[in-house]
Structure 1
Amino acid sequence: MSEIFNKEILNQMKQGLNKIKNPIKIITFVEKGKPLCDEVVAMMIQLTTLNNKIQFEEYDLIKNSDLAEKYRIDKVPGTTILVAGKPTGIKFYGIPTGHEINSLLFAILESSGMTTPLESKLEDAIKQIHKKINIKVFVGLQCPHCPKAVMTAFKIALLNNNIDAEMIQSNLYNDLSNGFGISSVPRTFFNDKDDLLGVQPLQMFVEKLKNI
């Protein structure tokens, strides 16, 4: 299996991942022959060599449909992160390379307990959401602004078990992107309806959550 990152990038990533606090497990669901599945698996295997607190498991979406349903993964390649065996609500659909490496590193570090502080008013508002909410962030891997939207969504999911957040590689899932009318990225949807275009502050995300 080919390697995704060269030595220079691996060294840079290793430095960042040295900050991991608690062990995490990355799980990727694949289907044989589907685009980017092999590449995502290779990428995650490389990550495990950078820090022994990162574990990785690969599953087949069809053969392991019970697990896929448990973690609410419905596309391949679909990747999620577990902490102490429990889902974080973070999902990557596609391959988090390009600028989305930043989203991946953020997700790993934040899941591990290396959390960045938020204004207490906003954090309390997120934690007080009691509805089940799905956040979809459509991205392009060469979009420098997309990771900020993804990281905001991931931060929210980590603060509230009722919320899950997805990074969706827009050019990989053309039917889905067309269905949502994606013409520019980042674009964020809340329960497939209310949306935000471009990079917006956390406050705007919170307002959308409160109004659902």
Structure 2
Amino acid sequence: MLDADLKTQLKAYLEKVTHPIELVASLDDSAKSQELSELLEDIASLSDQVSVSRTGTDPRKPSFAINRAGTDVGVRFAGIPLGHEFTSLVLALLQVGGHPSKAAPELLEQVRNLEGEFRFETFMSLSCHSCPDTVQALNLMSVVNPNIKHVAIDGALFQDEVNERQVMAVPTVFLNGEPFDQGRMDIEQIVARLDTGAAKRDAEKIKAKKPFDVLVVGGGPAGAAAAIYAARKGIRTGVAAERFGGQVLDTMAIENFISIAYTEGPKLAASLEQHVREYDVDVMNMQRAEKLVAPADPNGLFEVQLANGATLKSKTVILSTGARWRNMNVPGEQEYRNKGVTYCPHCDGPLFKGKRVAVIGGGNSGVEAAIDLAGIVGHVTLLEFDGKLRADEVLQRKLRSLHNVTIIVNAQTTEVQGDGKKVTGLSYTDRSSGQSRQVELEGVFVQIGLLPNTDWLKGTLKLSPRGEIEVDARGETSIPGVFAAGDATTVPYKQIVIAMGEGAKASLSAFDHLIRMPVVEAEAAAA
């Protein structure tokens, strides 16, 4: 089941197991059960600490539990956790086997102190690059706290249950049988949902922080680069991020990051955070900025007010809040979001196997999505507002070669339709004739570009008509001492490598601003 290289790597990991673990399988006569049986045998052959039992009674077949022998510590997988979930499998083996997690000790203690019974179920897909974070977080929580149980379910393998429970996006998490949340979640986000007093405690800690020399707002590539460059100057640096990694977390394949032929968004985001934390940087994750207040005195302190009520102060600020997927803003879009309307073909595509879907957008992202989906779904209808596709010609040729794809240009989507529970179709206007037309389908994948995350800055500094932060050649905004970088700015070409360069530039400019502040006033500002 596993090739020689994977076996060698896994064997090395399993040497870290300190407690015997048992793989308890629930199987039937299906081919998938045979595959799972072979996988579990391969794992057990690599360590004397691992054994296999086929005595499981879980009604989901194939499935298996990873149990720490003689205890109630364990996690479950319904399906065969390969693809993006292979890492989740390896981590589960290590953690159930007693190898300590790298999560912050105070966070693990917070998990241990959660009171109540928590039964989590996560529906995921093996092609989803957002799912492993959620699966791994809940697996770890179930190892740390015996009152927490978790099963990760491959939605593509249990399609009847997916349909019955109206799962139309992954990851989708249920808690004690009721919907809990959808989309990528890390352990901090989940614990914050369960521990109702966490936000208040975080706010009190933040209020007590001393002013920073440089405060970076946003934790994507631009923010990470800005923080590293600032910290290397030996100045007090902080990062307030709504989610560290930003939009990179939602990116699948990255093949144009110079010197790295191929990587994936979550992996790059993890590397960015690890690099930042190697420096003396105060990283404040899960903190949403709501207001920027400039000082009355040009050499005073800026204030960044957070959603939890706390306020951070700093001599300079670097804004790197990135961008988000653009919505169609048509009736039905929000009503059926994650009920057929989705923005990630890699994550949610397997849930629409054999069904009819639409892709909105004819740029590179839209055409790539249509190509990927055509190999999974029954039929793809691509709708483009313009009179022609805007994707690279090589992608267009590939798209036109596919037998189950219909391309419609001059199409203005006007409504997403549904039956109250899920999408059933959409309406569009033919811009050539003015006629209204309908398409019956079960899914709508929106791929029409990005919007800058700058709504909270309106009326504070100068924004372009598109809502982007206007910056000069040094990355400075219309307010001296406030700099900006990345996809939230007017800098053209929204690319990771450009965002990183702009983040470094903004940080160097902020440092230059600091050293030019009058010494007496600068010291007073820090007091």
TM-score by length of 1: 0.84
Matches within 5 A, 1:72-111: 73-111=58-96
State the distance in 2 between where 1:194 and 1:127 align. 23
Deviates more, 1:115-124 or 1:198-207: 115-124
Percent identity between the aligned chains?
Answer: 23
CA distance in 1, matches of 2:72, 2:34: 23
Q: Structure 2 regions of 5+ residues with no counterpart?
A: 197-527
Aligned residues of 1:88 and 1:111 also touching (Cα < 8 A) = yes
Rg: which structure is higher?
Answer: 2
Change in Cα spacing, 1:112 to 1:139, as seen in structure 2 (3 Å) is same
Residue pair 1:26, 1:80 contacting (<8 A) in 2 also: yes
What is the letter of the counterpart of residue 91 of structure 2? F
Q: CA deviation at 1:7?
A: 1.3
| Correspondence for 1:11 among 8, 13, 22 | 8
State the match for 1:206 in structure 2: 191
- In the aligned structure 2, how far is the partner of 1:27 from the partner of 1:19? 21
Pairing partner for 1:169 from 132, 135, 154: 154
Question: Is the 1:83–1:112 contact (alpha carbons within 8 Å) kept by the matching residues of 2?
Answer: yes
Q: CA deviation at 1:85?
A: 2.4
Deviates more, 1:115-124 or 1:37-46: 115-124
* Count of aligned pairs between the two proteins: 196
What CA distance in whole angstroms lies between the structure 1 residues aligned with 2:111 and 2:165?
25
Q: Distance in 2 between matches of 1:86 and 1:36?
A: 29
Q: How does 1:23-42 map to 2 (within 5 A)?
A: 23-31=20-28, 33-42=29-38
Higher relative contact order (CA 8 A, sep 6+): 1
Native 8 Å contact 1:133 1:191 kept in 2: yes
Aligned-pair distance for 1:109? 0.3
Amino acid at match of 1:37: S
User: Could you say which residue in structure 2 is the equivalent of 1:112?
Assistant: 97
SS in structure 2 at match of 1:36: helix
Unmatched runs of 5 consecutive residues or more in structure 1: 62-67
Corresponding position: 1:49 with 2:45: yes
- Whether the aligned pair in 2 keeps the contact of 1:194 and 1:208 (CA below 8 Å) is no
Does structure 1 retain, via aligned residues, the 8 Å contact 2:23–2:65?
yes
Letter in 1 for 2:16: K
Aligned partners of 1:118, 1:19: CA distance in 2, in Å? 17
Deviation of 1:35 (Å):
4.9
Q: TM-score, normalised by structure 2?
A: 0.36
